[in-house]
Chain A
């Protein structure tokens, strides 16, 4: 199983409600996965501020020159330095920590446990921003650990959540490792995220990266992929993993099941449809 929900806000008046709206969606998605959960939250940061998130950092972990906030199993470090500089400082200070996001707009908060409880530790209800993705996990391909939780963010301000399982992830992981890519987990979705990150780094746009993923990956997947300025959905050719999209002038939302969307303002007049198999849907900010 696993549940996915995402919300891309078009109306800035809704930005203060991002977390509350996403929490309601995540709460409904909990029935599709109670092993773990996570969210990726996008906001417009103060100029020059970077964010790096880490799971399972030691209690009281300190990174020189950075502010730290603990959100359950995730620690969020922020500093007024470029993201690469903050990432280097975090890696130096916490050599064993696993980075779950790095960039200027995105924070990835995730961990093991029931999604309802995790949402409280994330203080999700008070989060502000312009875009968010959420995932509830029922583990199939790898262990129930915080690093095996979604979202996967392996490139700057990139984020992927996945419902399904990739069949040939081991083959593609070997190929990526051979080209120098380093992995944080044995999770199949991380392979998809690393593949997309590599395509984006090589110059592809999100649509092309996801079309290439469809060509290369076997298995079942409904994917929600976000970057600082885009929100994208794609399903495999069989399309057995559910997905529904709703769209109004104020927002675009995607969910595994329609009922996650019922709390969104204006849902009764939204355009509602299911994404077609192997068609990449992208909304840009």
Chain B
């Protein structure tokens, strides 16, 4: 049986210090009770531990995650799994804006909806959103995959580099230099793997793929003011 930490009697600082003090390679299971929207829960983990957060979390939950598996049985605030390097973060509710911002690796799963700027400047992570994603999602996304099982908001993929976006529902509008692209067998295969990894049952053939038209990569006089 794993450790149980109740945040109505233990501080976030103490929780995170205990998690950081675990020996390298530790595989402990920690259950966090009464998070009550507190910020920075389970941030900066670098051990293959499992953390279950039983309720809503605040800003930057599981930020900078490496190796750890963090599940939130509730909603999360701004910047869940921001700058994640590896591991897995699973939000069973909704996520606020900038989910997975700048994340380099790992898998972020959001069962509910993600708010604005989901995957902003993502650099290699995979993000699977079960519901809708808000406006400016995958803004300046450089690498990685963003899967949206619901609808995407305005300006999807604005100024995108080489990240790949898969959307099953409608797209309110595409951002600058983001275009719909062919769905090849290899894309269907990678999407199938992502959906399976996220525990989703959607049919990959129902998705469309979006990516960079690569017209902003080089200076063009028509883009100058």
Contact = CB atoms under 8 A, between A and B. Distances in A.
- Is the pairing of A and B real? yes
Nearest to B116: A239
B137 interface: no
Given A258-B75, A259-B38, A262-B37, A274 B96 contact: yes
Chain A contact residues (Cβ within 8 angstroms of B): what range? 10 to 19
Interface string A250-275: 00000001111110000000001110
Interface string B107-125: 0000000011000000000
A242 B96 contact: yes
Contacts of A238: 116
A260 B39 CA distance: 12
B37 A242 contact: no
A113 interface: no
Given A258-B37, A259-B37, A239 B58 contact: no
Contact of B58 (A240, A258, A273, A274): A258
Contacts of B116: 238-240, 277
**B-side interface mostly:** loop
Interface in B157-196: none
A125 interface: no
Contact of A258 (B77, B97, B115, B134): B77
A242 B78 contact: yes
A257 B97 contact: no
A257 B76 CA distance: 10
B207 interface: no
B109 to A, nearest CB: 19
Nearest to A260: B37
B104 interface: no
B135 interface: yes
B202 to A, nearest CB: 23
Nearest to A261: B37
Contacts of B134: 239
Interface residues of B, number: 17
Contacts of A244: 96
B90 interface: no
Contacts of A259: 36-39, 58
A259 B55 CA distance: 11
Taking each of B39, B59, B97, B116, which has the highest tally of chain A beta carbons within 10 Å of its own beta carbon?
Answer: B116
A27 B151 CA distance: 37
A258 B57 CA distance: 8
B89 to A, nearest CB: 18
Interface in B20-58: 36-39, 56, 58
B135 A239 contact: yes
A272 B75 contact: yes
B139 to A, nearest CB: 11
A265 to B, nearest CB: 14
Contacts of A274: 94, 96-97, 115
A257 B37 contact: yes
A239 B97 contact: yes
A240 B134 CA distance: 12
Nearest to A255: B37
Contacts of B75: 258, 272
A193 B78 CA distance: 28
Given A239-B97, A242-B96, A257 B36 contact: no
A274 B116 CA distance: 10
A7 to B, nearest CB: 16
Nearest to B117: A240
Interface string A59-74: 0000000000000000
Contacts of B94: 272-274
B12 to A, nearest CB: 11
Contacts of A261: 37
A244 B134 CA distance: 14
Contact of B59 (A240, A257, A277): A257
Contacts of B58: 257-259
Given A258-B37, A258-B75, A261-B37, 16 more contacts: A239-B116, A239-B134, A239-B135, A240-B116, A242-B97, A257-B37, A257-B77, A258-B56, A258-B58, A260-B37, A262-B36, A272-B56, A272-B75, A273-B94, A274-B97, A277-B116
11 contacts: A239-B116, A239-B134, A242-B77, A242-B96, A257-B59, A258-B56, A258-B75, A261-B37, A262-B37, A274-B94, A274-B115
Interface of B: 36-39, 56, 58-59, 75, 77-78, 94, 96-97, 115-116, 134-135
